[in-house]
Structure 1
Amino acid sequence: MVNPVWTGTLTFGMVSLSVRLYSARERHGPVMHQFQRGTSDRIRYKRVNERTGKEVSRDDIVRGARVDEGDGEDYVVLEPQDLESILPARSRAMEIRGFVPRRQVDPLWYAATYFIGPKERAAAKPYRLLCSALERTERLGLATFIMRDREHLVLVGPQQGVLSASTLWWPDEVRDPEDVMPPIAETDLSDSELELAEQLVEAMAADWEPSDYSDAYEERLEELIEAKSKGRTITYEEEEPEERGTVVELTDALRKSLKERKKNGKGTGGKEKGGGATRARAPSPRRAEEPGGAAERTGKRTKKELLKEAGDLEIQGRSKMSRDELAEAVEEARNAPSRAAR
């Protein structure tokens, strides 16, 4: 269990329930510190007074904002009681103002996501009621609430069987493309180019399986740290990317891409039932195995879980392995002592 990041009241209509927010995500990986080169001396940062250079304790630190005063700059210091005095009367409430269609909000607006949990047993029924109603109607509750000295726009909806709260950026915080990048030239797209592009997209269609993906850099970083701690070096033999000739025509590039997908068996090209359009499906990234194979013996464990065990077993090159290759390597490493004994 983790500590809640916010506690308050969730309301919709005349219904209210006490809830807590919990972080829905966390970063993993080795914690890196800073050292002076050639030593094991840590680099530390201190809070110091800019004018005197003396260290300042946390209790003596307040917040402030810069204001322009004529030709110079000045600062307004804000005490904690100043900030508390401007909190709205319902500052501990997440009040749903309306329900919007689930697919109407573009991913661009999403900032962070939290799980919502009922604070007390009596809140379980209205909690389950709201969660089920949102699942059936495919809508999300649009609300506002205050957390960490900021007011947030938030969408409340079902996620993995519980309610979640996804904070959104405010309209004035979302940039327009023309404000940050040069304009894109207008071009004419032919029907044949569009058709080929659609076929290529369908040929590369795949289902979303989060467990099939992992952070390769983090895995290699862990291997590097482990190797250096034992006085070893580690290198990776990278496969050189296949050299491709320069393709001038977009249509040629699309045709060659489709041809390559079919040649490598990565597209089925079969018709859907009912005489629909051709719809190719990419095969699952996981290899098929015989019953009783390594993947079956290691259960439905995720690639990250297998990577951790592979690290415990000191299996080399694990960061380059697929999930099934990891399962086989873990199985072999487990059985190595028993085979040696025989």
Structure 2
Amino acid sequence: MPRKIWTGSINFGLVTIPVGLYAATEDHTIQFHQYERGTTDRVRYKRVNERTGEEVGYSDIVKGREADGGVITVDPAELEEIAPGRSRTIDISTFVELAEIDPVHFQKTYWLAPNSSEHYRPYNLLRRAMQKTGQAGIATFVLRGKQYLTAVRADDEVLALNTLYFADEIRDPGELLEDQSEQAAPTDKEIQMATTIIESMSGAWNPEDYEDTYTARVEELLAEKARGGEAVPSEAPPQPTNVTDLTEALRRSVDEARKGRKPKAKASEDLSALSKAELDDRAKQLGIKGRSKMKRAELEEAITNTPAKAS
């Protein structure tokens, strides 16, 4: 059972529904400790008073900010006291079309579940109503000392809460692009060719098709070093396409796209010339299971013995 990270209630109109907040995702990133190079000595961080050099207990630390030549300190309990709703309510102020929210505002997803079976009916009422209307409830609430703007929406079985960035937290993308010359505008032919590539590569969104290959490679690196081996570098990233070569690159991409997304491995092909990343990609295209845990030799054998899918 996932751990509840917040307890409170959703308020819409005069209806109050006690709920718990749960993380909707989990991080599979490999965690490392830090060691001094050439030794097995752990490197640890300590909270140290910079004037005395002495370590400070966590309970003796307060927050503060410099102002007018001095420092204003705030106790965590004071921050809790001024939190809206004492940090225990998700107050829906407006319902909006979910499609109207620009994805750049989305931050992180949580699940909301009723605190007890007696609250299932009002909980399901809100979920079904939002599901029917395609609306999301915009609300604010406080979690771990920070106020969040949120969108409460109906998922297939539960209510989901997405934390959102406030408008003043979104950077203006126009600042990233300098004045562009007329040469920066693509031609109609280039747009058509790029459209053809996109259409040929289009498919249904299936998240199970995508895997964290980098984490698998880190695990492989650790296993190889445990055997006394060394890291094998991946292939270098492709070079940027020159403007003069853009049309030719598009033409070749269209030709490849019409043949299929990726060339299929042939029995006579020399797989030893491919990088591990390219072998992983081939195995994925061929639908080979368990490829992320295979060594290079196992991948080559599996690719050679797997018939290409009909295009």
Segment of structure 1 superposing worse, 247-256 or 9-18: 247-256
Report the equivalent of 1:11.
Answer: 11
Aligned-pair distance for 1:265? 6.8
Query: Please, which of 102, 106, 109 is the counterpart of residue 105 of structure 2?
Result: 109
Q: Does structure 1 residue 66 correspond to structure 2 residue 66?
A: yes
Aligned-pair distance for 1:255? 2.7
In structure 2, do the counterparts of structure 1 residues 246 and 52 end up closer, same or farther at CA, with 3 Å as the change threshold?
closer
Task: Give the counterpart letter for 2:158 in structure 1.
Answer: V
Aligned identity (percent) is 36
Q: Which runs of 5+ in 2 are unaligned?
A: 264-283, 307-311
Report the equivalent of 1:177.
Answer: 173
Aligned-pair distance for 1:116? 0.6
Query: Please, which of 317, 323, 340 is the counterpart of residue 296 of structure 2?
Result: 317
Aligned-pair distance for 1:320? 6.6
2:8 counterpart SS class = strand
Query: Please, which of 250, 253, 272 is the counterpart of residue 254 of structure 1?
Result: 250
C-alpha distance in 2 between matches for 1:320 and 1:116: 42
In structure 2, do the counterparts of structure 1 residues 245 and 226 end up closer, same or farther at CA, with 3 Å as the change threshold?
closer
1:244-300 alpha-carbon deviations (Å, 9 max, x no partner):
996726444333321222244769xxxxxxxxxxxxxxxxx6547xxxxx86xxxxx
Matches within 5 A, 1:154-303: 154-179=150-175, 181-187=176-182, 188-229=185-226, 231-233=227-229, 236=232, 248=244, 250-264=246-260, 287=286
In structure 2, do the counterparts of structure 1 residues 239 and 6 end up closer, same or farther at CA, with 3 Å as the change threshold?
closer
C-alpha distance in 2 between matches for 1:118 and 1:131: 11
In structure 2, do the counterparts of structure 1 residues 156 and 49 end up closer, same or farther at CA, with 3 Å as the change threshold?
same
2:214 counterpart SS class = helix
Residue 220 of structure 1 contacts residue 319 of structure 1 at CA under 8 Å; is this kept in 2? Answer: no
Report the equivalent of 1:150.
Answer: 146
TM-score by length of 2: 0.79
1:122-156 alpha-carbon deviations (Å, 9 max, x no partner):
11111112212222211111111111111111000
Residue 216 of structure 1 contacts residue 320 of structure 1 at CA under 8 Å; is this kept in 2? Answer: no
Report the equivalent of 2:31.
Answer: 31
TM-score by length of 1: 0.72
In structure 2, do the counterparts of structure 1 residues 320 and 37 end up closer, same or farther at CA, with 3 Å as the change threshold?
farther
1:5 counterpart SS class = strand
Aligned-pair distance for 1:17? 0.7
C-alpha distance in 1 between matches for 2:298 and 2:178: 40
Report the equivalent of 2:115.
Answer: 119
Segment of structure 1 superposing worse, 146-155 or 193-202: 193-202
Residue 64 of structure 1 contacts residue 78 of structure 1 at CA under 8 Å; is this kept in 2? Answer: yes
In structure 2, do the counterparts of structure 1 residues 316 and 164 end up closer, same or farther at CA, with 3 Å as the change threshold?
same
In structure 2, do the counterparts of structure 1 residues 90 and 35 end up closer, same or farther at CA, with 3 Å as the change threshold?
closer
Residue 138 of structure 2 contacts residue 152 of structure 2 at CA under 8 Å; is this kept in 1? Answer: yes
In structure 2, do the counterparts of structure 1 residues 195 and 86 end up closer, same or farther at CA, with 3 Å as the change threshold?
same
2:244 counterpart SS class = coil
Task: Give the counterpart letter for 1:62 in structure 2.
Answer: V
C-alpha distance in 2 between matches for 1:142 and 1:154: 6
Q: Which runs of 5+ in 1 are unaligned?
A: 268-284, 289-293, 296-302, 329-342
In structure 2, do the counterparts of structure 1 residues 263 and 9 end up closer, same or farther at CA, with 3 Å as the change threshold?
closer
Segment of structure 1 superposing worse, 99-108 or 156-165: 156-165
Aligned-pair distance for 1:192? 3.2
In structure 2, do the counterparts of structure 1 residues 186 and 15 end up closer, same or farther at CA, with 3 Å as the change threshold?
farther
Task: Give the counterpart letter for 2:97 in structure 1.
Answer: P
Aligned-pair distance for 1:9? 0.7
